Amino acid sequence: MTSTENIRTQTPVRRLGDVVFSNAATFAGVSILATLALVAAFLIAESIPAFTGVEIAAAKNGFWAYVGPFVFGTVFASTIALLIATPLAVGIALYISHFANRRFSQVLGYAVDLLAAVPSVVYGLWGILVLAPFLTPSYRWLNDNLGWIPFFSGTVSATGRTMLTVSIVLAIMVLPIMAALIREIFLQTPRLYEEAALALGATRWEMIKMAVIPFGLPGIISAAMLGLGRALGETMAVAMVLSPSAVIGFAVLTSTNPNTIAANIALQFPEAGGNYVNLLMATGLVLFAITMLVNLGARWVINSRKEFSGAN
Amino acid sequence: MTSLQQPSSLQGTKDLPRFINPALLLASAVISFATQASLAATTALEVNLLAVVIIAVLGYALALYLISYFIEGKRKAKDRFVTVLVSSAFAVAIVPLISLAYTVVTKGAARFDLDFFTLSMRNVVGQGGGALHAIVGTLEITGLATLISVPIGIMTAIYLVEYGRGKLAKMVTFFVDVMTGVPSIVAGLFAYALFVVFFGPGVRMGIGGAIALSVLMTPVVIRATEEMLKIVPNELREAAYALGVPKWLTILKVVLPTSLAGIATGIMISIARVIGETAPLLIIAGFTASMNYNPFDERMATLPVFVFTSYANQGIEMQAYVDRAWTGALTLMLIVMILNLAARLVSKFFSPKG
């Protein structure tokens, strides 16, 4: 060790180790930016031949006519999934954060996390071999009794491979991540708000309505949007469960359903050749753009209310 | 204790006895089943379980609401009603989990034998065969993806927590978020687009799958590591600096060891997340029935894709293919569960005790 005077006169040394290490860290950070730029660049480059090359049999009426039904199917399926999943996710989050007792709720949290860990291909297998046959009688009932609603009209699919089954599977798949996010936000509700409400004689539900829900609302919205982002890009469950056709229609119980972008790529790509590959690549780019918009929207909601850091 | 004054809206009311909940639930379940069963008997259809449950829960909630309304008052009745709704929302989420676990275990057990783990599908038509080729492929591709994304992920997290200030760090944080949202199939398309440039159209390679998976895995590793590095107390860093330890050695010898258990947990969970990815591997790694140990050459089967193709391309003796699909799913679930469990154990036993 050198003396104190000696240290004072020294200029700060740039140690070789420090330089190398900090540069390596910065390089890693920059490589993330580079990777995303590469993803965009390669997808665009590989999509271009779909527009310039020879006409593709599958897309005789132009690219947008080809991708239109898929975009519709993607958004439609995800929207129904979200309509199912959001109330359930709020319910689960409330149950774990405010209703179940503490030890029990930890176990429940694990159980919900386990749902998140199940691979999508297993959901697909379960959806088609277990869920679809199980739901078919209920679909028939819906069609018989509520067939006047356009959604439930048409001829009921005998196999259960319908838009509604797909949406239910998607809802189950996005449920855990949404529930986990919303739970985190509900747990951050200031204890004093809750106790103040209870001290004023509010019942548990009134306390939740007055303190928890208003506090967690931005979090619920952003969780829903993140769930939507997941559902939009989900591939295998849709590819396995849905019986697809290139239509735009709102009937959710029939066997003619609009396919989703991701599922269409997964089903077509292994057999595709020539510039059909480029066409699929271009539809992938459309999907990328849609999910990106949704995710950016969610991030924007989160960032505009930064105190809800649990949602990051 | 002196009796507390109840708020006026709750006044003059009595609490319902505790047994009211199970009693009412049981009663509504019995009534619902009875009506459905009699309905089924008249129309000669099977009893619809879904309808039974829905009617039972709705009946229970309504009956509880009405009883509570007249005995306890409106506000308590509403509270009880919501409690039923919230609890049943939770039950609705747990039922698929139980059903899924039950089906995968019972149906997967049919082919969960030695052959499944020692044979490939080469020259197998109908019964027999196994998924060794797919298991090897999954292990190799996921292993390579881990090798790519763990160093990049940890270094990026170190950059963000220890070095990053200003615009660049903000951009990196933002784009890590964007990367988390990349759909898995788009990652597969990216890997294909990348490899097509070098190897020409129709390229299929295991390493491409590893690249696609690492696009999905890196942001997860970054997020997990970042969280862990952030909770390392600043006092530790300052103590090291005060002793004259250079920054890079402080990070390597103080910060990383302190957060190692958490980082290991995060890595295991990220592996568990990508090991089940199907779509990108279907696109770039392809499918084969034969063994392929070389990820840099030709098609490579993986477990998720094996499950998908076994189901999608059923040959003659369909049941044999479906059985293999279920056993593949069971194996995959077991791997994921073991990884998750190991992650929990690591974080429980190796994290530094405060």
Going residue by residue through chain B (354 aa), what tens digit of pLDDT does each one get?
A: 444 555 555 544 567 777 777 777 777 777 777 777 777 767 666 667 777 788 778 888 888 888 878 877 778 888 888 888 888 888 888 888 888 889 989 988 888 888 778 877 777 777 777 788 888 889 999 999 999 999 999 999 999 998 878 888 888 888 888 888 889 899 999 999 888 888 888 788 888 899 999 999 999 999 889 988 888 888 999 999 999 888 888 988 889 888 888 888 888 888 888 888 888 998 888 888 777 777 778 888 889 998 898 888 877 777 888 888 899 899 998 888 888 888 888 877 876 655
Residue A257: enclosing H or E segment and its boundaries?
Answer: strand A257-258
Q: Which of A15, A29, A233 sits opposite B160 (nearest CB)?
A: A29
Cα(A206)–Cα(A194) distance, integer angstroms: 10
Task: Please list the alpha-helical segments (H only) found in B10-48.
Answer: 20-43
Q: Residue ranges of the domains in chain B?
A: 11-110, 117-350
Residue B333: which residues within 8 A CB-CB, separation 6 or more? A118, A119, A122, B101, B104
Q: Do B194 and A233 touch (CB under 8 A)?
A: no
Q: Do A269 and B308 touch (CB under 8 A)?
A: no
- List of chain A residues whose C-beta atoms are within 8 Å of the C-beta of residue B160: 29
End-to-end alpha-carbon separation of chain A, Å? Answer: 45
Q: Position A116: which residue type?
A: A
Is B211 at the interface with chain A, CB within 8 A? no
Nearest to A270 by CA among B286, B316, B10, B109: B286
CA distances from B143 to A304, B149, B150 (A): 39, 10, 10
pTM: 0.85
For tokens 């007249």, what's the residue?
Answer: B70
Angle at B151 between CA B146 and CA B154, to 5 degrees: 110
- List of chain B residues whose C-beta atoms are within 8 Å of the C-beta of residue A273: 201-202
- List of chain A residues whose C-beta atoms are within 8 Å of the C-beta of residue B142: none
The Cα of B94 is separated from the nearest Cα of chain A by a number of Å equal to 8
Which chain A residue shows the shortest CA-CA distance from B334?
A118
Name beta bridge partners: A258: A245
Assess contact for A123 and A172: CB atoms under 8 A: yes
pLDDT digits (tens, 9 = 90+) for A2-16: 455 555 556 666 788
Is A140 at the interface with chain B, CB within 8 A? no
| Domain A68-306 class, CATH top level | mainly alpha
- List of chain B residues whose C-beta atoms are within 8 Å of the C-beta of residue A236: 278-279, 304, 308
Q: Do B79 and A204 touch (CB under 8 A)?
A: yes
Q: Chain B 75-134, CB below 8 Å of chain A: which residues?
A: 75-76, 78-79, 82-83, 85-90, 92-94, 96-97, 99-100, 103-104, 107
Cα(B215)–Cα(B206) distance, integer angstroms: 15
Assess contact for B287 and B133: CB atoms under 8 A: no
The Cα of A61 is separated from the nearest Cα of chain B by a number of Å equal to 24
Nearest to A83 by CA among A215, A214, A227, A217: A227
- Residue A258: phi and psi, rounded to 5, are -65, 135
DSSP-derived 3-state class of residue A245: strand
Q: Which of B51, B181, B189 sits opposite A295 (nearest CB)?
A: B181
Cα(B162)–Cα(B150) distance, integer angstroms: 17
Burial of B67 (0-12, 13-18, 19+ CB in 10 A): middle
Q: Do A201 and B174 touch (CB under 8 A)?
A: no
Q: Which of B100, B162, B181 sits opposite A229 (nearest CB)?
A: B181
Q: Do A138 and B312 touch (CB under 8 A)?
A: no
Cα(B327)–Cα(B330) distance, integer angstroms: 5
Per 3-state DSSP, chain A is made up of helix, strand and coil in percentages (nearest 5) of 75, 0, 20
Q: Which of B273, B283, B333 sits opposite A269 (nearest CB)?
A: B283
Residue A134: which residues within 8 A CB-CB, separation 6 or more? A160, B49, B50
Residue A142: which residues within 8 A CB-CB, separation 6 or more? A152, A253
Q: Which of B75, B190, B251 sits opposite A43 (nearest CB)?
A: B190
Q: Residue ranges of the domains in chain A?
A: 68-306
pLDDT digits (tens, 9 = 90+) for A109-144: 777 777 778 888 899 889 888 888 888 888 877 877
Q: Do B151 and A28 touch (CB under 8 A)?
A: yes
Burial of B57 (0-12, 13-18, 19+ CB in 10 A): buried
Residue A124: which residues within 8 A CB-CB, separation 6 or more? A169, A236, A237, A238, A239, A240, A241, B308, B311
DSSP-derived 3-state class of residue A244: strand
Q: Do A125 and B336 touch (CB under 8 A)?
A: no
Q: Do B175 and A99 touch (CB under 8 A)?
A: no
Provide the pairing of β-strand A244-245 with A257-258. parallel
Cα(B215)–Cα(B186) distance, integer angstroms: 10
Which chain A residue shows the shortest CA-CA distance from B313?
A240
pLDDT digits (tens, 9 = 90+) for A98-114: 887 778 877 877 777 77
Q: What is the interface pTM, i.e. ipTM, of the complex?
A: 0.84
Q: Do B333 and A118 touch (CB under 8 A)?
A: yes
Is B238 at the interface with chain A, CB within 8 A? no
Q: Which of A95, A175, A280 sits opposite B87 (nearest CB)?
A: A95
Residue A251 structure tokens: 């009937």
Q: Which numeric CATH code is attached to B117-350?
A: 1.10.3720.10
